[in-house]
Amino acid sequence: MATFRTRARTLDMLGRQQIAGIPTAISELFKNAHDAYADNVEIDYFRSDGLFVLRDDGVGMNKEDFETRWLTIGTESKFVSTRLPPHFPNKEKRPMLGEKGIGRLAVATIGPQLLVLSRAVGASDLITSFLNWSIFEWPGIDLEDINIPLRTISSGGLPTDKDVAEMVEEFRISAKTICHKVDHKLFNKLEIELDQFDIDPQDIDSYLKEPTLNKNRNGTHFIIKPTTPLLDEDIDGDPTGRKTFAVTSLKKALLGFSNTMTPDSRTVIKTAFRDYKTDELYDDLISGDEFFTPEEFKGADHRISGNFDPYGQFRGEISIFGETIPDHVITWSGNPGVHTKCGPFKIDFAAFEGEARHSTIPNEEHARIKIKAEQLGGLYIYRNGIRILPYGNTDFDWLDIEINRSKSAYYYYFSHRKMFGTIEIDADKNSLLVEKAGREGFQENKAYRQFRSILRNFFTQMAADFFRTEGLHSDIFDLKKTELSREHKARLAREKHIKERRKNFEEKLNDFFEKLNTDKPQEEVLALTERAETQLRITRSLTDKQLAAKKILELERVFQSEIRDLEETYLITRPRIPLRDMTLRDWGAYTSAFSTLHENVFSPARSIFEELIEEEVQKASISLNRQVRTEAALDGLGKQVQIKTKYSGNEVKKKATEVASNAREVASQSLKAVELEFREVMSDFQKMDLASLTDEGFIETRDKLETRILRVTEEKGELLRSIKEQLDAIEVNSNISTIEQLGAIEQRNLLLEEQAEADAQLAQLGMAIEIIDHEFSGTIRSIRTSLRKLKAWADINQGLEELYNNIRKSFDHLDGYLTLFTPLQRRLYRKEVEIHGYKIFAFLEELFRARLARHNISLTATKAFSSSRVLGYPSSFYPVFVNLVDNAIFWLSQQNPHQERKITLDENNGTLIVADTGPGVGIRDLDTIFEFGFSRKPGGRGMGLHIGRETLRRVGYDLYLIDGSGGAKFGLIPKAES
């Protein structure tokens, strides 16, 4: 054991005025880890007890490094580039990014006291020291009197909690020797802080794992407790939630610490900041997905990548909407032919259009990337792969990009909220770009002024060359943007058309099933048949047999016409548009139901009327000529068909004439527009004084005149080509029309979109269950332990046995719900048990007692169900019965109160049955009630039956609908018997 006596004024109020805040402080600690050649630096912050742990796997420190460098401000405490440790032969040389050791002062910004653990690379000894920064702020104290406990652990492992407690006590004793010089309140505050430092490094290492200092591993760890309340505020950000797109200052400072954004980037050091809301549940605040990714970079509308040479001239590759200009040059006129002070550097950034209709990025992805850019968009500066603050923060407009855009978005184009990327500099090549001591950007020297001037000129010229109408390469941007806008309008028009037709189609299906469920077709056919029968009977009073026969034939024609018209009111034609999966299922149910309706209602009605005619003919002794009768029937049908066909034919002719007229009009207007532009160009040409122009001026003028003609020609030509392609696509004699082909493609896309949405919901559900698992796992383990202890008491105390069984049953019910989505090994019952029917009934009766009484519903169990037994896990079966009874109660409660409201539990040949007297399951839903997400219940999630069936199938059972008419009847049946 040893102590280290501080040198006077070496800590000098810890120099905290040099640290702008906690985000900057942590960034400095990350830089220290970088300078120590760490591959990883990670933070774990446990809010529950204010514990902050920072770990890296760098070269570490020995006792001399710690005493003479780390604790002394103003000295270089790091290995300089020439002292790259021999144990790191495969590491590339890194420039030192930390500034004269101020990173160590960042620790004091996070919390008042610290345990340092460090082992130098190749060493076996670990040094550990405890410090409380509060004592260094005591006024009138000679800092030479402060002793800092320092120990060496030679076992290759970590110090124990006892070692830490002894160092804390040693620090306390040292403080007591000088506390008489200050107000006693300061010492009391110090003692309160010391009492809170109950740290066990070995315990912390056991649950944090890598990077570790155990087993002779190298690196440096900082353990801080308690943390300042400002840390929570920096993590959580605006407590009012008013700033929708706001990102916390901590995220702004730490995201993208190492360049992971550009496709060719190479991560220098991996960082993590885990914020533990509970001891097991955490958010990684700076995970890779939180920042821009190479995939997002590649998917942007535009990309600009290139190099600025020592003279400030840019040369690089520009991609606009995927069309590449490989060797674009932008000059800078601010340099008189000598090397710049700032030096050469690289730029690589992506930009996207603010409106989705002008962008090549898919709509949902565009919305997501737009929100991310609102939060984090901008240009980030990286020196040798490590970010320099505050560049990249949207509120630091160092290139006047937002100021210029506010003047004219068209003229300057670029915006932080529509771009993200990097500027890469090098410690050697750009050595005159020097950071300020407080990490607030570069010092305002000549190198920095040139640096800004070069980049400002670059962005202005980029906008001029590519994004202004008169620009050198603006035709690429203008034509593609126009094309995207046109496609967007066409897509919106198509979507509107599809939406209206789909809505109309779905309304027809709903109307059909509503009428079907109320027996409307049967009622209408019966009324029609009865009316025809009444009219037939009237013919009996006619004495003229010939007149009676004629009247009967007319009645037959009218009835056949009316029955056809009635049947056609239930005939629905599927539109040639994409249909949602639910609508497709309804369509399948409709085709089956209509076929049944035709066979069981309309065809029998015709037969009945035929029988009525035969009956009347026989009673009246009338003779009907079959030929005349058939001709009359065919004539009536023919007239109906002709009328409908004639109407459809006229509609087609009308539409064809309208399309032809519009096409001719567009063609005529396009020709006129081209001719008019040509005349205007020639008129302007006649007014020009070409003789006074230089050769360059003459060529530029001629190019502009040609561009005007070519632009309008291309625009109108594209319109005419589009119209011609549409006309060519009309194949009148084809069995498969273009509309059908388009509909097939759209149908597939819609189904894929719905499947993707369902998959996303399942993924979200999975994440939610993972959170539940984190939240409840510890509690569940604790309850299980307590239950085992209670069981021991219940075994010897009969009064506790019933209480234990009730608690165990309730716990199993809760655990059963949780374990529907989690591995089976987490069940309370480790083995299958006998589940008795009467116990299931008693459980359900108790659970739903209040709801059953409120809705006047009876729940009964047959003798067969009560005596039934199932071998299995209660958590697999109980939730299924709960869901079935819950659904039954809901639908029964919606019925007329005068109707019977009853739920029956039964058993038949091994099948457990849950039946109710509710409205049942409609014909359209028979095949869909078990699908994930399907529900007719208002606000229903559509998961219960699906999950119940899947759960039972995993344990050798199945759940199916036995009968859906006159109530719902579900069965739980062993698969072997199904």
Q: Map tokens 């652990």 to a residue.
A: 153
Confidence band for 822, pLDDT divided at 50, 70 and 90: very low
| Cβ atoms < 10 Å from Cβ of 839 | 15
Contacts of 292 (CB under 8 A, 6+ apart): 256, 261, 372, 376, 420
Q: What is the DSSP letter of 938?
A: T
| Cβ atoms < 10 Å from Cβ of 234 | 20
Q: Specify the pLDDT at position 830.
A: 45
Contacts of 828 (CB under 8 A, 6+ apart): 784, 787, 808, 811, 812, 815, 875
Q: What is the mean pLDDT of residues 379-399?
A: 90
Which DSSP string do the residues of 737-775 spell out, in sequence order? -HHHHHHHHHHHHHHHHHHHHHHHHHHHHHHHHHHHHHH
| Cβ atoms < 10 Å from Cβ of 302 | 25
**With 70 as the cut, is the pLDDT of residue 252 above it?**
yes
**With 70 as the cut, is the pLDDT of residue 702 above it?**
yes
- CB–CB of 180/222 below 8 Å? no
Q: Specify the pLDDT at position 898.
A: 81
- Name the residue with higher pLDDT: 73 or 846: 846
- CB–CB of 259/271 below 8 Å? no
User: What confidence tens digit (pLDDT) does each residue in 907-950 have?
Assistant: 998 899 999 998 888 777 777 788 776 777 776 667 778 878 88
- CB–CB of 310/339 below 8 Å? yes
Give the least confident one: 135-139, 697-701, 895-899, 948-952: 697-701
Residue 139, φ and ψ in degrees, nearest 5: -75, 145
> Token pair for residue 483?
């094309």
Angle among Cα 904, 910, 914 to the nearest 5 degrees reads 20
Element (H, E) at 250: helix 249-254
Specify the amino acid at residue 196: Q
Residue 115, φ and ψ in degrees, nearest 5: -110, 120
SS3 628: helix
What span, in angstroms and rounded, lies between the C-alpha atoms of 329 and 308? 10
Residue 116, φ and ψ in degrees, nearest 5: -100, 130
Q: What is the mean pLDDT of residues 638-667?
A: 72
Confidence band for 12, pLDDT divided at 50, 70 and 90: very low
Which DSSP string do the residues of 877-919 spell out, in sequence order? HHHHHHHHHHHHHHHHHTS-TTS--EEEEEEETTEEEEEE-SS
> Token pair for residue 495?
């979507």
**With 70 as the cut, is the pLDDT of residue 740 above it?**
no
Q: Out of 313-322, 393-402, 468-477, 810-819, give the one with best mean pLDDT.
A: 313-322
Q: Specify the pLDDT at position 963.
A: 87
Q: Out of 159-168, 326-335, 620-629, give the one with best mean pLDDT.
A: 159-168
**With 70 as the cut, is the pLDDT of residue 628 above it?**
no
Cis peptide preceding 226, ω within 30 of 0: yes
> Hey, which residues does 388 pair with through a beta bridge?
381
- CB–CB of 948/878 below 8 Å? no
Element (H, E) at 130: strand 126-132
Confidence band for 532, pLDDT divided at 50, 70 and 90: confident
- CB–CB of 385/396 below 8 Å? no
How many residues would you count in the chain?
A: 978
Q: Specify the pLDDT at position 634.
A: 63
SS3 482: helix
Give the least confident one: 286-290, 490-494, 784-788, 793-797: 784-788
Q: What is the distance between the terminal CA atoms of the chain, rounded to a whole angstrom?
A: 76
What span, in angstroms and rounded, lies between the C-alpha atoms of 570 and 600? 14
**With 80 as the cut, is the pLDDT of residue 707 above it?**
no
What span, in angstroms and rounded, lies between the C-alpha atoms of 978 and 976? 6
What span, in angstroms and rounded, lies between the C-alpha atoms of 60 and 78? 10
Q: What is the mean pLDDT of residues 392-411?
A: 88
Q: What is the mean pLDDT of residues 772-777?
A: 52
Query: Nearest Cα to 564, choosing from 612, 643, 630, 636?
Result: 636
Which three-class secondary structure string do you get for 667-711?
HHHHHHHHHHHHHHHHHHHHCCCHHHCCHHHHHHHHHHHHHHHHH
What sign has the CA pseudo-torsion 422, 426, 430, 432? Answer: positive
- CB–CB of 96/81 below 8 Å? yes
User: What confidence tens digit (pLDDT) does each residue in 418-448 have?
Assistant: 999 999 999 999 999 998 876 678 999 999 9
- CB–CB of 116/69 below 8 Å? no
Q: What is the DSSP letter of 399?
A: T
> Token pair for residue 333?
């006129």
What span, in angstroms and rounded, lies between the C-alpha atoms of 877 and 821? 14
Specify the amino acid at residue 131: L
Contacts of 260 (CB under 8 A, 6+ apart): 267, 288, 291, 293, 294
Cis peptide preceding 23, ω within 30 of 0: no
What span, in angstroms and rounded, lies between the C-alpha atoms of 415 and 478? 19
Helices and strands counted in the chain (H then E)? 27, 23
For the chain, the average pLDDT equals: 81
Q: Kindly report whether the global pTM for this prediction surpasses the value 0.85.
A: no
| Cβ atoms < 10 Å from Cβ of 77 | 22
> Hey, which residues does 324 pair with through a beta bridge?
319
What span, in angstroms and rounded, lies between the C-alpha atoms of 417 and 369? 10
User: What confidence tens digit (pLDDT) does each residue in 403-423 have?
Assistant: 998 888 889 999 999 999 999
Q: Map tokens 């690196």 to a residue.
A: 219
What span, in angstroms and rounded, lies between the C-alpha atoms of 815 and 828? 8
Largest Cα–Cα distance in the chain?
A: 137
Confidence band for 620, pLDDT divided at 50, 70 and 90: low
Which DSSP string do the residues of 133-151 spell out, in sequence order? GGGGG-TT--GGG-EEEEE
Q: Specify the pLDDT at position 490.
A: 77
Q: Map tokens 């460090």 to a residue.
A: 118
What span, in angstroms and rounded, lies between the C-alpha atoms of 721 and 713? 12
Q: What share of the chain is helix, strand, coil (3-state, %, to 5)?
A: 55, 15, 30
What span, in angstroms and rounded, lies between the C-alpha atoms of 164 and 117? 11
Percent of all residues in the chain with a pLDDT value above 90, rounded to a whole number: 30
What span, in angstroms and rounded, lies between the C-alpha atoms of 825 and 814? 15
Q: Where are the alpha helices (DSSP H) in 570-694?
A: 581-597, 603-620, 626-686
Q: What is the mean pLDDT of residues 591-613?
A: 86
Count CA within 13 A, CB hemisphere, residue 661: 6
What span, in angstroms and rounded, lies between the C-alpha atoms of 901 and 918? 7
Q: Map tokens 């420190």 to a residue.
A: 61
Residue 64, φ and ψ in degrees, nearest 5: -65, -45
